[in-house]
Amino acid sequence: MRLNKVILSNIGAYHGHYEIDLSIDSPKRKLILFGGKNGAGKTTLLDSIRLALFGPYTYGFRTENEQYFNKIKPMLNKTAVNTNENLYRIILEFDRVEDYQRNSYTIKRSWRIDKNKIKETFEVLKDGMHLNERESEIFQSRLREETPPQLYELCLFDGEEISRIITDQKLSDYIRNSARVLFSLDLFENLEQDINQYMKQTSAEGKKSEHENELEQFEKDLTIKQNEYNNLHNERSSLYDSIEMKQNEVDHLKKEFEIHGGLVKDERDQLLKKINEIEYRRKINSESIRSFITGLLPIYLVRNLLTDVQQQMISEKEIESYDFVSKSVDTNQLTNLASKLKASGLSAEINNEKSLEQLLLDEFLTAIKPDDSSFIHRASFNQRTEIETILNELKKLDKHKYIDLYSENQSLLSKLKKLKNQVEDNDKNQDFKELFDKMQELNQQIEQSNVKVDKIDQQLINLNEVITKLNTDHERIKTKLIESTKSETTLSLSLKISEVSKKFRSLQLKKKLQQVEFEATDMINQLFSKENFIHQVKIDSETFEITLLSSQQEEIDQHKISAGEKELLLLSVIWAMFKTSGSRMPFIFDTLLGRLDKTHRERLLTKLIPNFGEQIIILSTDSEIDKEHFELIEPILSKTYTLNFDEENQKVQIQKGKYFDLSETEWSK
């Protein structure tokens, strides 16, 4: 299938008539790029293509019903509804190959409002010719068989959905469901179900053997457990839808809260965190100032007196030294010295009063005697050391440091008052309080739903174990039944056909998955920035769990792989499955690049995207594909559009031939 054009009339934010050309210029230039900020109408475009193709089947309904029209109602442009306009339509033009021939189709799906009720009209044109009602029904049945809604869904890579699959660890379920559709295994499953139904009817017509009765009981038990499993699956899906709806409501309330000046919980918590940080900083500063005031400040104020004390202590030390020397000098040594001096010719008497020995002693003591000073402190060595230490601290003291700390505390106090006033004013506002309480209530409901989902997941695991055991026993009884049947009865033939179908399905699946493993390994090594990090990708054909092996054949812990790398892994496996299946479908990527870093984003755009199918559509924001990325995809680019939502006129504007500010502009309605 190759999309050529989509025409929207009063659908979603598209008020009025819009024609969007989706045709590609050549097999090499197969990429169509849509740019637009959130809320610009990208998702509406995606939903419109899906709705045009499948109608009620888009939402899981087989026919038009009230629930289906309740889904359609939000799709109709509100302005058009309020002004009583009555043309709401999606037209999709596409080509598809049938019996080795390419045919052109046009699908027109229109709605009108009659007495507050919505009515739908459906038309199909093949190569420009209208199909009658019967031909249209045949076309829709064939379309759903060859291109079922599940297959189309696999071609829509929604960034949010991919992220949820990875976050909720639903990768194996996603691959299991994808394999069923892509490898047409669901056809064999349907065949096996039909055979089982036939066997039940056949068994009911005649006398049943013990094995037949046992087999029938196992099938009943299996059906009951499978229904429980499906019901739980449906309940989980409903919970996910409810969680998504409530999360959207929380986001809406949060936006309204912010627009009107309120503080959401996260922002309020951030403010409280800043308040705590400022108070802690002021406390540290105050303690430092207080320590200085009670410690060094009194001494700093009398630092001159402390210097005098130090000088007095030095003088006292000198006196102590003098007294020590005067008491320690040995007169015998002086006598020996005097004798030597006399021997050298000096006079025996220097004067009539003092001997030479006494004179020498007096002169020596006079030389070392300190200036006149009296004892005041009589300080010990430790006390003198303490005084010296304190004086050294005073010399190193930076008084401006404590002045700056005081000034900083004053400034912090001013900021603190503003932050507290902001929180207080917000909390006093009753309107904000109601919004905040509503968000809190919704968040609690979301949390409760998540708890229920976790509980259901555990129930599903338990049920799966029970179903697995029942299947094992079921196969055992069928084997006994076949062995006990001596002739080729219809029942035994049916059992054998069913067994052959299952074996073929199992072998086909293993064969296809082996090819998927090879292709996915090659692609993931082109995408990952870590060279040869993954040597082999293995997919279990029973559980569909993925195992990553290193070059040493050791299992790689997937918890060590980043969320962006897991996204690349999922995309590589799905790409490999499509390549293996040979399916030709257009691929649409909606805001897929937001969680990837620059290197992985570039590799995705140059290695993986160009290899996806015959036609590629990317819906992107300007933060995902910038000028540098735009240049990378330009060689495969066919058309560009930029979607803008006109707030004043409440409708979408489309710029043809333009991607934000990177190409020429041509305005459309």
Cα dihedral 318/321/322/327 (nearest 10): 160
Give the H or E element holding residue 104.
strand 101-114
> Three-state SS string across 7-32, please?
EEEEECCEEEEEEEECCCCCCCCCEE
629-669, pLDDT tens digit by residue?
888 888 999 999 999 988 888 889 998 888 887 755 443 43
Contact 50, 160 (CB under 8 A): no
Place of tokens 């990527």: 589
Please report whether residue 300 resides in a domain.
yes
Tell me the three state secondary structure of residue 158.
strand
In this prediction, residue 486 carries a pLDDT of 47
Q: Indicate if the pLDDT at residue 598 is higher than 90.
A: no
Least confident interval from 129-133, 162-166, 317-321, 349-353: 349-353
State the pairing for strand pair 651-656/637-646. Answer: antiparallel
* Cα gap 586→577, rounded to integer Å: 15
Contact 600, 630 (CB under 8 A): no
Average pLDDT over residues 213-230: 80
Q: Indicate if the pLDDT at residue 61 is higher than 70.
A: yes
Average pLDDT over residues 507-522: 87
In this prediction, residue 262 carries a pLDDT of 61
* Cα gap 85→546, rounded to integer Å: 52
Instruction: At 408, give phi and psi (nearest 5°).
Output: -60, -40
Long-range contacts of residues 297-303, Cβ cutoff 8 Å, at least 24 apart: 299/390, 299/394, 300/394, 300/397, 300/399, 303/391, 303/394
In this prediction, residue 7 carries a pLDDT of 95
In this prediction, residue 158 carries a pLDDT of 73
Name the more confident of 493 and 564. Answer: 564
Tell me the three state secondary structure of residue 115.
coil
Q: How many domains does the chain have?
A: 1
Please report whether residue 470 resides in a domain.
no
In this prediction, residue 303 carries a pLDDT of 76
Across the strands, what pairs with 654?
Answer: 643, 668
Comparing CA positions, the residue from 537, 570, 567, 568 lying closest to residue 555 is 537
Place of tokens 């082109």: 526
Distances (CA, A) of 405 to 164, 266, 283, 291, 292: 50, 31, 11, 12, 11
Place of tokens 């998927």: 516
In this prediction, residue 76 carries a pLDDT of 92
Least confident interval from 268-282, 513-527, 555-569: 555-569
Name the more confident of 9 and 324. Answer: 9
Across the strands, what pairs with 470?
Answer: none
Place of tokens 């936006």: 255
Tell me the three state secondary structure of residue 646.
strand
In this prediction, residue 11 carries a pLDDT of 93
* Cα gap 343→340, rounded to integer Å: 5
Average pLDDT over residues 137-150: 79
Name the more confident of 210 and 510. Answer: 510
In this prediction, residue 378 carries a pLDDT of 67
Categorize the per-residue pLDDT at 88 as very low, low, confident or very high, splitting at 50, 70 and 90.
Answer: very high
Average pLDDT over residues 110-135: 90
96-108, pLDDT tens digit by residue?
887 778 889 999 9
603-631, pLDDT tens digit by residue?
888 888 888 878 889 888 878 888 888 88
CA angle 574, 576, 582 (to 5 degrees): 105
Distances (CA, A) of 494 to 185, 192, 479, 485, 567: 19, 9, 12, 12, 43
Please report whether residue 348 resides in a domain.
yes
Average pLDDT over residues 164-176: 74
Please report whether residue 403 resides in a domain.
yes
Q: Indicate if the pLDDT at residue 17 is higher than 80.
A: yes
In this prediction, residue 487 carries a pLDDT of 44
Categorize the per-residue pLDDT at 89 as very low, low, confident or very high, splitting at 50, 70 and 90.
Answer: very high
Long-range contacts of residues 340-346, Cβ cutoff 8 Å, at least 24 apart: none
Please report whether residue 593 resides in a domain.
no
Please report whether residue 346 resides in a domain.
yes
CA angle 512, 496, 142 (to 5 degrees): 55
In this prediction, residue 194 carries a pLDDT of 67
Please report whether residue 14 resides in a domain.
no
Please report whether residue 474 resides in a domain.
no
Least confident interval from 16-25, 310-319, 402-411: 310-319
Give the H or E element holding residue 153.
helix 149-154
In this prediction, residue 125 carries a pLDDT of 93
Q: Is the pTM of this model over 0.75?
A: no
421-479, pLDDT tens digit by residue?
887 776 666 566 777 778 888 888 888 888 888 888 888 888 888 888 888 887 777 77
Instruction: At 627, give phi and psi (nearest 5°).
Output: -60, -45
Across the strands, what pairs with 93?
Answer: 5, 106
Place of tokens 């000028």: 627
Joined tokens for residue 152: 């189309």
Tell me the three state secondary structure of residue 170.
coil
Mean pLDDT of the chain: 80
* Cα gap 632→413, rounded to integer Å: 52
* Cα gap 43→213, rounded to integer Å: 53
Instruction: Identify each DSSP E strand in 455-575 by its residue range.
Output: 536-539, 546-549
297-351, pLDDT tens digit by residue?
787 787 778 787 777 777 777 777 777 777 766 667 667 766 766 666 554 444 4
Whole-number percent of the chain with pLDDT over 90: 11
In this prediction, residue 393 carries a pLDDT of 79
Which domain covers residue 319, as residue numbers? 291-407
> Three-state SS string across 579-629, please?
HHHCCCCCEEEECCCCCCCHHHHHHHHHHHHHHCCCCEEEEECCCCCCHHH
